[in-house]
Amino acid sequence: MAKEGQNRLSAVRRFLASSSAPLVSRIVLGGVFLAAGASKVLDPGGLAASIRSYELHLPEWFASISAHALPFLEIMLGLYLLAGLFTRLSAWATNGLMILFILALLQGAVRGLQIDCGCFGSSTEESNLWLGAARDVALFALGLHVALAPIGRFSVDSLLRRSGSEPSET
């Protein structure tokens, strides 16, 4: 039994180190960010209402600016991740957003808020904030994988590196 567990762990480690794994992580994370941003871009008022529903006592101007800017940021990061352009920078930016999202969801769940999380646009249904936080922890793990794994050959970054002009990721 222990030998079988070690073999599985070894297989997982080999896959995570392969050039395919970062591609899979990039596609999933980029796709989720693209879908989340696209679902919110046409309804900034609904997103602002979702942000306010967390009762974080944020200034109104912050909720308004966030509701207008966040969907475009999510779309941009999603596209960068899908293309593999500025991959590490994009992954770290998504990780930063994921930490904020996780903290917002957890504080709402701990306080027992029964609200729509606003994660994929506004809806009239309440979200399970605990499940939303768990989903975001999994997405954070994908973001860490993308940020820390080798870039992989299936990316614009890799093509640029091979052609001799590398994008700057400071």
Which tens digits make up the pLDDT trace of 19-28?
788 899 999 9
SS3 state at 70:
helix
Tally of residues, the chain: 170
Provide the mean pLDDT of the chain: 89
Q: Which of 145, 16, 159 is nearest to 83 (CA)?
A: 159
DSSP character for 17? H
- pLDDT at position 150 is 84
Closest to 34 (Cα-Cα) out of 22, 23, 44, 26: 26
* Helices 20-40, 60-83: crossing angle, 10 deg rounding: 140
Which pair of tokens denotes residue 127?
């979200």
Question: Which pLDDT score, from 0 to 100, does residue 5 have?
Answer: 67
Q: What is the pLDDT of residue 1?
A: 61
Please give the single-letter amino acid code of residue 43.
D
Q: How far apart are CA 117 and CA 132, in angstroms?
A: 8
pLDDT of residue 170: 46
pLDDT tens digits along 92-123: 999 999 999 999 999 999 999 999 888 988 76
| Predicted TM-score (pTM) of this structure | 0.84
Cα→Cα distances 156→70, 84, 152, 159, Å: 24, 5, 10, 5
